[in-house]
Amino acid sequence: MADDALETTVARELRAAGLQASSFDEPRAGGFGVEPDDGFVSVVWTPSEAMSSVAFDKMMAGETEHEAVLHMGRVKHLMATAILEILRSAGLEARMSSDDMAPATVEVRSGGAAR
């Protein structure tokens, strides 16, 4: 499992870039969440409750092509790309997840040190 120092470094670098932290347990405000995984740290972006709730309601109604759903998906992917580049710029070893069940997820591994 990734060490606590890597989680701390990832969160510090994203906060320094001006991004707001969120919690995997309480993501209502939106922002980034950092969670340890098997040998790396996962980073995801959660949109605000206002955006998420509308998109979720549409998905539950079967309207998966509704503009609110598509917009939220685009926002999540754009923010994941921004997070990826911020962490790489800070000297961390970051990549987009190849796990189909974890879209728009950035994986950070030990190996690179933040500047």
Domain containing 100: what range? 4-109
CB 41 within 8 A of CB 10: yes
- Residue 37: pLDDT band with limits 50, 70, 90: confident
Has this prediction a pTM greater than 0.85?
yes
Q: Measured between alpha carbons, how far is 50 from 99 in angstroms, rounded to an integer?
A: 27
The reply to whether 89 falls in a domain is yes
The reply to whether 115 falls in a domain is no
Using one digit for the tens of pLDDT, what is the confidence trace for 48-69? 989 999 999 999 999 999 999 9
The reply to whether 114 falls in a domain is no
The reply to whether 65 falls in a domain is yes
For the chain, the domain total comes to: 1
Using one digit for the tens of pLDDT, what is the confidence trace for 100-109? 888 899 999 9
pLDDT for position 110: 84
Using one digit for the tens of pLDDT, what is the confidence trace for 42-53? 999 999 989 999
Nearest 5°: the CA angle 81, 34, 39 is 95
CB atoms within 10 A of CB 47: 20
CB 20 within 8 A of CB 48: no
